[in-house]
Amino acid sequence: MTCFIGVADAGNSRTKWAIYHNGIRLSWGIWNQPSDILPETVLGAGRWRLAGVHPEQLRDVAARLEHFGGPCEIIDKTTSFGLKIGVDYPDRVGIDRVAAAWAAWLRFERKHGCLVVDAGTAVTMDLVDETGTFLGGAILPGIDLMFQSLAEGTRLLPRLSPSTVDAALCWPGKNTKDAMVVGVLAAQVGAIDTILKKARAHNQNIKIIVTGGGGRLLAEASGLASCYVDGLVLEGIARAGESPP
């Protein structure tokens, strides 16, 4: 990348954006609604590269950016990244999963297999081997979806928000709210532990990286705070098409 480039990830609940210059992220932010005011830094990007799992939102964002800013390139194929896709239906894999996996593999210098945990509306855990093959992984409800399920599927349990969760909360929960938090975090952390053990049963040198809106909380709860990286999907979109050395 030799110029200013804007990247955006249209997710299930919001659109994340960032501005890069020569591979360095200069600024970033979130659009919760298509009508949100675009920051001046966004309007200054020379061109845009977009990807996401929400096609309608992706088209809306592209149209708006092309109106106010530079030309937009929509990345809608997993082959736009440098990974080999070793799953049953390559064209059905979420583009965000492959983008995050691509960025992670590049961060590990294309030498190490890695497990990529992306904690958003859903939590995805995807495996990339040392040759750069995306092998698939696991998908489970994110923290907020788990809280939603408990509230909607029962009569008395309250609707909690991830913003109120304390990753350091100790077992056992002494009230209903704390018990729910302990249970949901235990489910999330237990899933990571289980998947990581499965991955390392085949390759002891597997690295792990955690990202996503709920990634910091999940990394802290899992004892993986040093493995947290912010904005990995955006980084992968920015580096799409980057050739191996």
What are 101's two structure tokens?
């996996």
Nearest CA to 116 out of 162, 105, 106, 88 is that of: 105
Identity of the amino acid at 129: D
| Phi/psi at 226 (5° precision) | -75, -10
Number of helices followed by number of strands (H, E) in the chain:
7, 10
- What phi and psi values does residue 100 have, to the nearest 5 degrees? -65, -40
Catalytic residue check, 118: no
Q: Which two tokens stand for residue 201?
A: 């049963």
Q: Kindly name the residue from 36, 60, 91, 96 that is annotated as catalytic.
A: 96
Q: Phi, psi at residue 29, to the nearest 5°?
A: -175, -170
Which residues, listed in sequence order, are joined to residue 29 by a DSSP beta bridge? 17
Q: Rounded CA gap, 239 and 242, in Å?
A: 6
In angstroms, what CA-CA distances link 185 with 14, 35, 96, 100? 23, 34, 24, 23
Paired residues of 27 in beta bridges: 19
What residues are annotated to the active site?
Answer: 96
